[in-house]
Structures are given as C-alpha cells and as structure tokens.
C-alpha cells in the first residue's frame, strides 16, 4: 500500500516551487501578473509597475478568459493574481469568480488600497483562498516611505474590510535598510490584523530597486538580525499564524532550481510566460500557444544552456538581475 | 470524510498529487494511493464505506486491505489533508 509522503519517490519535494516539474502533466501553480498598472510606485517594485505602467499589449478580456478556461481544463490546482495591482483590472472580480467556480484555488496579491467592504464580500462569495496584502512596515512612517503614493491607513482599512468580510488574510513584507528592524512588530501587527500567514524573504535587486538600491539594500548584519527575529516569531506564533521566510540567497536558489525546475509558471500581463521571476527567460506566449504547449516548452527551456550560463554569470556579477526585464526568448 | 478545504487532488501518469494550498505542500501519490484518494475526492464517505468500495476493486485479503487503508487514511489525517 502506498504512503502519501512529502518527500522521496517520483516527486522529491514539498512545494510547487521545488517540485520536479518534469513528471507532471501541467503546472501546479500559475502566478499571473494580471496588469502592470498600479496605483502606487513602490521603491522596490520588481515589476517596475506604477501609474500609467500598464503594458500596451496586455491580454484582452477574451484572451484573459480563454487563458483561465485552460487553467481550469488542465486542472491547475492553484493560481495567484498579482500585478501591478490586480484589483485595478476592470474585470478583476469577474475573473476571480470565474476561476473559483472552476475549482482552482485563488490567491490575490494586492496593496489593499482599493479594497472596499463590498469588494471583500464579493471575494468571500467567490471563494478566494486568501488575499495577500503587502505591508512593509509596522509604522506609517516606514510604510509610506517604501510605498510611494501609498498610505498605511488605507492599507489597514483594506485589511479591515477583508477581516470583516471573512476573507482569509496573508501579509507580505519586503525588507529594506529602513524597515528591517521593524520585522518583529510587523509580525505582531499581522497577527493582530487577523492574518493566517506572514511571508518574507530577501528583497531583489531588480525593477525599481535597481534605481533605489542605495536607499534600500539591507546590510548582511541587518539580515542576520532580521532572520533571527523571524525564527523566534515563527516559534512564538506556531499553531496560530504561519510565519514563512526564505533565507536562501538568489544565486543559491537559482542553482537549486536548475536541478529542480519549479512546477509553476509566471505569466506576464501580455501572456508571455517566464521560467521564473528571477530570470529573464521567456518560454511561451499564451496569445499564440496553448497552456499545454507552453508547459512542454517550459520543460525544454530549463535545459537550455543559456539559462545555466546566466545563473553562473550571476555568481560573478550579482547585479545582472538588473536585466531581468530584458526578456530572452527560448 | 473528504479532502480538506485547501487540498486539491490531480491525477498524473505516475499516480497523482495532493496539493495543500495553505502550506503550499505537495504530496506525491503512487497509483494505489491515487486510487484511494480518487474515491475520497469523488464523494464524501465514511471509512467503512471507503474500505468496502476499494475491497471490491483490489485483490487481497479483506483484513490486509482494511488495515492498509486505515493506515493510509490515518497518515492523510495526520497531515491535515482530510476532514469530516
């Protein structure tokens, strides 16, 4: 008789990001950047999103729904809508409901500024799995410094609407040199706000962060203290709120992924599909290819020598992540 | 019993996968385990009903089948993958 084991056997790991994709008939997770438009212009945004930054060739409504239909047909169990700010998409609520009705679990990643009581009730009715809110600070001062055009109180109000509406809440936190010291209080705040999970990791040198790195980059000493606090908080909140964090550096993670390609696709607002967010490689175009075709090409693309070469080049020059938006088609 | 709220099941060539989307953990299943989970995912049922259904499909002594299914179901429960 078989056992359900999280490790060993044909699929040797425990998360979609670490699961060997080659054995699977379809992705386990699709992260769709619904639009590059955003109401904020955050200092660290890896997507260079902001007001007026929507791609000119973002998926049309019919293309977007056709894509979601394929997600359902391929039985992709899990999907996230991010951006930019996904709630700014004019069909956001309809797309969320459409996907949930077809049994794919959906997570929304948002800055929460546009969330209203009515909107949160719609998300609850649709049955979204969770809404993850970016809250990079335990204080108004640090949050507003990081999230240009953003407002701490509006983010908290949005989270309050989620809580009132009974929508599961998750919090995401990007560390910088001016907010890393607040991590303990931020975890406490997340719990007070009713979050079920808290996510963080190292902030990446790409997107807007390339221009602002001198103001953002935490020191290694700060990271040591940051992760030590997180270890303590994970223990403190065990059984009450999950505290997830990735200590692994980007290079280490990419080398791991070369051996174990993730079972997830990153879909850009225009339907192009990236191998992984931290690499510039594009392995498909959902405007011209089916999800199945893209998935097959995804498997091949990870074996392309240009991918491993890029990762090794990063070892010599970590700042090559500044070029992640200069897409390379495989 | 049924699959827990945040658990999704998908059949694969090698058997199947269970994906717990809150912890984002993936569990690989061989064909036998996949057959059991397919029964659970298809229609909520109690353990005796599950055993009766599977005993009709698999060869072997009923005692062995019953104990192995009970162990497997216990394993799924301990991992939070099933709920009543």
Q: What is the ipTM of this complex?
A: 0.89
The pLDDT-based confidence of A188 (bands split at 50, 70, 90) is: very high
Q: A129 and B22 in contact by Cβ < 8 A?
A: yes
Residues of A in contact with B80 (CB under 8 A): none
Smallest Cα distance from A147 to chain B, Å: 27
What average pLDDT score do residues A26-52 get? 94
pLDDT of residue A21: 63
> pLDDT at position A123, please?
98
CATH no. of B2-79: 1.10.10
Contact yes or no for B30 and A9 at CB 8 A: yes
Angle of helix A92-101 relative to helix A117-126, nearest 10 degrees?
A: 20
Instruction: Sort residue A162 into left (φ over 0), alpha (ψ -120 to 50) or beta.
Output: alpha
User: pLDDT > 70: what percent of chain B?
Assistant: 99
> Three-state SS for B22?
coil
Closest partner residue to B68 (CB to CB) among A1, A23, A75 is A1
Q: Looking at residues B21-48, what average pLDDT do you find?
A: 88
B84 interfacial to chain A (CB closer than 8 Å): no
Taking residues A193-212, report their average pLDDT: 92
Residue A319 φ then ψ, to 5°:
-75, 0
SS (H, E, C) chain A: CCCCECCCCCCCCCCCCCCCHHHCCCCCEEEEECCCECCCCCCCCCCCCECCCCCCCCCCHHHHHHHHHHHHHCCCCEEEEECCCHHHCCCHHHHHHHHHHCCCEEEEEECCCCCCHHHHHHHHHHCCCEEEEECCCCCHHHHHHHCCCCCHHHHHHHHHHHHHHCCCEEEEECCCCCCHHHHHHHHHHHHHCCEEEEEEECCCCCCCHHHHHHHHCCCHHHHHHHHHHHHHHHHHCCCCCEEEEECCCHHHHHHHHHHCCCCEEEECCCCEEECCCCCCEEEEECCCCCHHHHHHHHHHHCCCHHHHHHHHHHHHCHHHHHHCCCCEEC
Interface contact B53, partner A, CB < 8 A:
no
Tell me: the pLDDT tens digits for A131-149?
A: 999 999 999 999 999 999 9
pLDDT for A180 equals 97
Interchain CB contact of B33 with A (< 8 Å): yes
Euclidean distance between CA atoms A39 and A52, whole angstroms:
9
Q: Which fold has domain A24-329?
A: TIM Barrel (3.20.20)
Distance from CA of A15 to the nearest CA of B (A): 5
With CA atoms as reference, report the closest residue to A6 among A14, A23, A17, B74.
A14
Query: Are A4 and B33 a contacting pair at CB < 8 A?
Result: yes
Domain ranges for chain B: 2-79
pTM: 0.91
pLDDT confidence of A244, banded at 50, 70, 90? very high
Q: What is the pLDDT of residue A71?
A: 98
User: Which chain B residues are within 8 Å of A262, Cβ to Cβ?
Assistant: none
Quick one: pLDDT band at residue A42, thresholds 50, 70, 90?
very high
Mark which residues 97-126 of A lie under 8 Å from B by CB. 103, 105, 107
The arithmetic mean of pLDDT across residues A219-244, rounded, is 97
B29–A25 CB contact, under 8 Å:
no
Q: Could you read off the pLDDT of A71-111 as tens digits, one per residue?
A: 999 999 999 999 999 999 999 999 999 999 999 999 999 99
pLDDT over 60 (residue B32): yes
Mean pLDDT of chain A: 91
**Is the preceding omega at residue B6 within 30 degrees of 0, hence cis?**
no
């Amino acid at each position: 008789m078989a056992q359900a084991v999280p490790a060993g056997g044909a699929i040797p790991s425990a998360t979609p990001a670490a699961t060997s994709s080659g054995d699977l008939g379809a992705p386990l997770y699709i992260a769709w950047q619904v639009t590059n438009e955003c109401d904020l212009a955050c200092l660290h945004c890896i997507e260079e999103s902001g007001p007026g930054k929507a791609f000119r060739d973002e998926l049309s409504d019919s293309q977007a729904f056709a894509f979601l239909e394929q997600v359902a047909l391929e039985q992709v169990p899990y999907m996230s809508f991010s951006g930019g700010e996904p709630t700014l998409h004019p069909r956001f609520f309809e797309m969320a409901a459409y996907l949930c009705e077809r049994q794919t679990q959906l997570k929304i990643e948002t800055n929460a500024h546009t969330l209203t009581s009515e909107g949160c009730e719609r998300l609850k009715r649709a049955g979204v799995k969770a809404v993850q809110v970016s809250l990079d600070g335990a204080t108004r001062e640090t949050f507003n410094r990081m999230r240009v055009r953003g407002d701490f109180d509006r983010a908290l109000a949005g989270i309050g609407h989620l809580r009132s509406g009974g929508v599961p809440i998750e919090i995401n936190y990007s560390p910088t040199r001016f907010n890393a010291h607040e991590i303990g209080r931020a975890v406490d705040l997340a719990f007070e706000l009713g979050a079920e999970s808290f996510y963080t990791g190292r902030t990446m040198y790409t997107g807007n962060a390339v221009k602002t790195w001198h103001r953002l980059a935490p020191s290694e000493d700060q990271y040591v203290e940051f992760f030590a606090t997180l270890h303590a908080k994970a223990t403190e909140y065990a059984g009450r709120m999950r505290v997830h964090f990735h200590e692994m550096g980007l290079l280490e993670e990419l080398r791991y992924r070369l051996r174990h390609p993730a079972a997830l696709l990153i879909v850009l607002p225009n339907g192009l599909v990236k191998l992984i967010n931290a690499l510039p490689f594009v392995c498909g175009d959902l405007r011209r290819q089916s999800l199945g075709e893209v998935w097959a090409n995804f498997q091949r693309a990870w074996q392309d020598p240009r991918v491993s070469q890029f990762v090794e080049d990063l070892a010599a020059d970590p700042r090559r992540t500044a070029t992640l938006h200069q897409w390379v088609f495989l | 019993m049924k699959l827990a709220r945040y658990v999704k099941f998908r059949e694969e060539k090698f058997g199947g996968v269970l994906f717990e989307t809150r912890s984002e953990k993936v569990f690989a299943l061989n064909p036998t385990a996949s057959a059991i989970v397919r029964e659970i995912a298809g229609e909520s049922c109690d353990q005796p009903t599950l055993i009766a259904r599977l005993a009709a499909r698999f060869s072997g002594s009923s005692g062995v089948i019953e104990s192995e299914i009970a162990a497997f179901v216990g394993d799924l429960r301990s991992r939070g993958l099933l709920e009543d």
